[in-house]
Structure 1
Amino acid sequence: MRRTNRRVVITGIGVISPGGIGVKAFWQLLTDGRTATRLITGFDASPFRSRVAAEADFDPAAHGLTPQERRRMDRAAQFAVVAAREAVAGSGIDLSATDPARTGVTVGSAVGCTMSLEREYVVVSDGGRKRLVDHEYAVPHLYDYLVPGSLAAEVAWAVGAEGPAAVVSTGCTSGLDAVGHAVELIREGSADVMVAGATDAPISPITLACFDAIKATTPRNDDPEHASRPFDRTRNGFVLGEGAAVFVLEERDSALRRGARILAEIAGFAARCNAYHMTGLRADGNEMAAAIGAALDEARLDPGAVDYVNAHGSGTRQNDRHETAAVKLALGHHAWDTPMSSIKSMVGHSLGAIGSIEIAACVLAIQHQVVPPTANLHEPDPECDLDYVPVTARDHQTDVVVSVGSGFGGFQSAMVLTS
């Protein structure tokens, strides 16, 4: 369909995060500068190099999921559905009074239903002892775990959406890219309302083994609370996390007509790929800078208008250097005057979900005019010489925010949110 001038706004937010279930608890954690990282409790992680993670204390029954839903859904799907329900309730929208064919869903996820797939493989293979697995031991819902589209289907069923539905999986930029895709669907006229966000529940033995193999996660197991240290000289890898964030996106004029409270506008989005290396990053940050520049162009804003940059800030040595270079390249001299922080220091890196969780943090920063801090930043790296808001949240005029993401495969995404 042809592109229109429709503006897209956020009217509802739902969050499942380590250290904070629900929007209010999530924002309190960030503004307090508390960390939710700890030794893994969900299984015996003693054989692994990295044994720390940011786990969500999530009780699906307490959050309204029925016994059948709990049996059917993977943990990632449970996160997405509960977050979607919070977002819809918070938006005040009556989806039963809207055309269901004009309401869509996009869900970002890097690893889909990993936890259930791994659990079921262990069962059908008798703990990995049988090469030829016995399918008769599998649960009836195994196909849903295998097919990532089940995540979007679960959210669509939960909110009664019958319009476009898709899963976007671009690694660690999935959460940004899924929301960006939803924005485009509204702008082009394919939908009026989108329930969009991302979810991942990757804290499982297979995920730990994968990241151990490339030494991407931190081995700082003796101090879990301070293990995630983006931009710090002593950083040595990221901390795995889990969670979800989901938004209600609407066409602005329609939202105003129904009297909705507009939380933020998504003014620009862009994505690039470095076509360079699966895990490596060029030091100049050119691709991320290009994404930031394109997103600002779409928003019709100059670099000097940016009040805050929500960093990818994973805590790996190459990412933090790459991102620092990219922001300097994109914002020019204004980069040194712009606060920039990483909430991964507090909630870990939930892979595909984190981009949406970071969008939620950006919207709340705009609403409260407060920039969340980078926790555990005590020894600045001389190569990372911007203002990373160390340790303590900061009152700051925050009307234009750029949120960036960087993912394995060379994905680089940027989104501009405005008040």
Structure 2
Amino acid sequence: MEKEKSYIVIRGTGVISPLGHDAPSVAAAYSTGAAAFSNVTHSEQLVPVSALPATAEAALQQLLLAEQGYRQLDRSVQLAIYAARQAAAEAGWLQSGNAIADDLGVNIGSSRGATGLFEQHYEAFQQMSLSASASPTTTLGNLSSWVAHAVNAGGAQISHSITCSTALMAIANGAAWLKAGMARRFLAGGTEAPLTPFTIAQMKAIGIYSKLSEHPYPCQPFALEKQHTFVLGEGAAVFALEQVPREQLNPGDIIVEAVGVGFEKIVSKTGISAEGLNFQKSMRHALAQLPANDRQVDLVLTHSPGTRAGDSAELAAIEAVFGFPTPAITTNKWLLGHTLGASGALSIQYALHILRHQQFPAIPYPNLLAVLHPASFSRILINAAGFGGNAASVMLRYNP
């Protein structure tokens, strides 16, 4: 007897980013194409970054004022808690009281983890005044355990890092746990708060940081002019996932159709080949999970951090997988920069916006992408890749 068909559905979304503090504010930014960059002084130079706007910062601080225990945590954990509570509330999972939901699992990832607190505690260490909270507040496990605390989740609590593919791998983990019957509901996503002196210095040391501090779009993926335009940003996005049978699907549901992964041997300091072999593998892995007679992709949301090698490799991979013409291609990094471990989650949130509003803003600077805009979008492929040669691809489909 054929097994009953079921689907992984996104029941709720939480987001806080340089574009806004919830789905409506972020949607407004996407609709207008309003970039979210500002400059900070770093080593006596103006450096572009993408930080939370005043409204989002005020919303985050309101949460911290309401829950004193959150104030000791790293900013990456605070952002994750904010987004997770929003996602759980939208899904109807955020209940009052202290009852623990043992069927609710959590997987929150971050590329860098407690970046800000690490730097603060190391400075204290150098001054011989290290706090007893240094170890507890900088462990990567804070991401899932504190999110679980904030939403009363008693199931699996997974924190992980696979650099910039982190958030997509959290979605993969959540889907796997649900399909295996090891959880009934899952919160999955990514968070990052890397706007610290040492982290900015690390990106500058690689030689990829944007020098376009006076440009309205200092991060320019796929730009015609060959230069590095990487810009750091901060933010978090979390998704409430649930497995439902076919008959319980609702019009407008967003389905996680497939998750592909790929890996290639490290050939450079960032671990990507000119052909983007890791991207090719992850996209093909995702496509292979679709019905053989229905593998049409309407849009690819790229990783494209604004680096020459990374952007060109991903474009080469898309062309190798799909041939010509390729699906429509776009990205959100020209609006909010690269948020490392949170970037894939924010790309998924962007994909949800596009599927629901059936539009996205045109990239305003000269770029390599063909002007291609389907009449409608029903399936979007989201890519992410990280240092070390890994890549992941998530396929989302809109249920009409």
Q: TM-score, normalised by structure 2?
A: 0.90
Aligned sequence identity (%): 27
Q: CA offsets, 1:218-275, max 9 Å, x none?
A: 122233x221111112342211000000010001239939xx7863100100111111
- SS of 1:24's equivalent in the other structure is helix
How far did residue 72 of structure 1 move?
1.8
Asked whether 1:350 is paired with 2:324, we answer no
Matched, 1:227 2:218: yes
Match of 1:274 in 2: 264
Counterpart in the other structure of 1:129: none
1:42-93 residue CA offsets vs partner (Å, 9 max, x unmatched): xx42445x71100013133324653523422211111111111111111233
Find out whether 1:379 has 2:382 as its counterpart.
Answer: no
Contact 1:109 1:168 survives alignment (8 Å): yes
Q: Is the 8 A contact 1:4 1:187 kept in 2?
A: no
What RMSD, in angstroms, separates the aligned Cα atoms of the two structures?
Answer: 2.5
The residue type paired with residue 409 of structure 1 is: G
Letter in structure 1 aligned against 2:377: T
8 Å contact kept, 2:16–2:237: yes
Query: Cα gap change, 1:200/1:81 in structure 2, threshold over 3 Å: closer, same or farther?
Result: same
One-letter code aligned to 2:397? T
1:202 is aligned, of 194, 197, 216, to 194
Residue 325 (structure 1) shift: 0.8
How is 1:96-107 mapped onto 2 (pairs within 5 angstroms)? 100-107=101-108
- Asked whether the equivalents of residues 100 and 152 of structure 2 are also in contact (C-alpha less than 8 Å), the reply is no
Query: Aligned pair 1:291/2:278, yes or no?
Result: no
Distance across 2 between alignment mates of 1:403 and 1:211: 24
Cα pair 1:12 1:263 within 8 Å, conserved: no
Q: Any idea what the Cα deviations from partners look like across 1:159-204, whole Å, max 9, x if unmatched?
A: 1111111012011111111111111111111111001111000010
Q: 1:153 aligns with which of 140, 145, 150?
A: 145
CA contact (8 A) 2:30 2:360 kept: no
Q: Post-superposition shift, 1:315?
A: 1.0
CA gap 1:219/1:299 in 2 versus in 1, 3 angstroms? same
Output the amino acid matched with 1:267.
E
Choose from 356, 374, 389 the match for 1:367. 356
Match of 1:85, SS? helix
Contact 1:10 1:262 in 2 (8 A): no
User: Does 1:175 find its partner at 2:167?
Assistant: yes
Judged with a 3 Å threshold, the aligned counterparts in structure 2 of structure 1 residues 90 and 410 are, in CA distance, closer, same or farther, namely: same
| Residue pairs, 1:133-152, within 5 angstroms | 133-135=128-130, 138=131, 140-152=132-144
**Alignment-derived partner of residue 42 in structure 2:** 45
One-letter amino acid matched to 2:386: G
Asked if the contact 2:30/2:361 (under 8 Å) is kept, the reply is yes
Q: Displacement, 1:403?
A: 0.2
Q: 1:385 to 1:150 in 2, by over 3 A?
A: closer
Q: Do the aligned residues in 2 keep the contact of 1:104 with 1:164 (CA within 8 Å)?
A: yes
Compute the TM-score of the two structures, normalised by the length of structure 1. 0.86
Q: Distance in 1 between matches of 2:349 and 2:292?
A: 21
Match of 2:118 in 1: 117
2: CA distance between counterparts of 1:395 and 1:87? Answer: 30
Structure 1 position 415, deviation (Å): 0.7
Tell me the amino acid that sits aligned with residue 71 of structure 1. Answer: R
CA distance in 2, matches of 1:157, 1:281: 38
Farther-moved stretch of structure 1 (171-180 vs 86-95): 86-95
Deviations 1:333-371 (A, max 9, x none): 241xx2211100001100000100101111121112123
> 2:52: which partner in 1?
56
Could you tell me which runs of 5 or more consecutive residues in structure 2 were left unpaired when the two chains were aligned. Answer: none
Partners of 2:199 and 2:49 in 1: CA distance: 11
Q: Which amino acid aligns with 1:256?
A: Q
Contact 2:144 2:159 in 1 (8 A): yes
Q: Which moved more, 1:92-101 or 1:80-89?
A: 92-101
Contact 2:5 2:246 in 1 (8 A): no
Q: Work out whether 1:415 is the aligned partner of 2:387.
A: no
Residues matched between the structures, number: 389
Instruction: Return closer, same or farther for 1:301/1:345 CA change in 2, 3 Å cut-off.
Output: farther
Deviations 1:80-111 (A, max 9, x none): 11111111111233657998221100001000
CA 1:304–1:332 in structure 2 vs 1: closer, same or farther (change >3 Å)? farther
The residue aligned with 2:72 is: 72
What is the CA–CA distance in structure 2 between the aligned matches of 1:248 and 1:166, rounded to whole Å?
15
**Worse overlay, 214-223 or 246-255:** 246-255
Q: Which moves more between the two structures, 248-257 or 347-356?
A: 248-257
User: Which of the residues 266, 286, 304 maps onto 1:313?
Assistant: 304
Matched residue, 1:212: 204
